[in-house]
Structure 1
Amino acid sequence: MAGRSSLPEGYVTPVHRALTEPILIAGAPRMATIVNGTLAAALGLGLQLWIVGLAYWLIAHGLCVFSARRDPQFVDVLIRHVRHKGYLAC
């Protein structure tokens, strides 16, 4: 046990990497990907605006991937930001 700290046996537990990393689908958070895909499908299939639905999905997914590279939990932060009132709001 050279080089280990003086913690008792069994005190340190290894944590699998999958438990700490966010769930991403194609580089974007899972919830954002599902919402974007649903809205794009509604535009493309429901309203029969194929090009608009595809363009919406490409732009929205690209923005989500860009944001997820900076902060993988940006969706949770955005939801929390929308729920809280501004400090000086009347």
Structure 2
Amino acid sequence: MADNRPLPPGYSVPVHRSLTAPILLAGAPRLATIVNGTLAAALGIGLQLWGVGLVFWIVAQGICVFAARRDPQFADVLIRHIRTRGYYAC
């Protein structure tokens, strides 16, 4: 039903990209970045393994950024996948 009639004034509203874009922190979802930073800080400060904490943060953040480029809401999907049981599970 493509109609080529002009729209009345004020009928269309511009939608800004910031309203539809996901909230990312350092290129990854906010929740994943906070979890990565907390675990890296626990390794670095709590266990005094500074190098391991830094390497963990770099690797984990890199994986999250890679996954966020494919699907910005991968963390929500992963959490839902873990919480829900399979329908056809034996």
Q: Please, what TM-score do these two structures have when normalized by structure 2?
A: 0.86
Distance of aligned partners of 1:13 and 1:44 in 2 relative to their CA distance in 1, 3 Å threshold: same
Q: 1:15 is matched with which residue?
A: 15
Deviations 1:61-86 (A, max 9, x none): 01000001101111111111111111
Write the distance in 2 (CA, Å) between the matches of 1:47 and 1:20: 40
- Structure 2 counterpart SS, 1:72: coil
Identify unmatched segments of 5+ residues in structure 1.
none
2:45 is aligned with what amino acid? L
Count of aligned pairs: 87
Fraction of identical pairs, as percent: 72
TM-score (norm 1): 0.86
In structure 2, runs of 5+ residues without a counterpart are none
2: CA distance, partners of 1:48 / 1:37: 15
Runs of 4 or more, structure 1, over 4 Å off, are: none
| Aligned-residue CA RMSD (Å) | 1.6
The amino acid that maps onto 2:54 is L
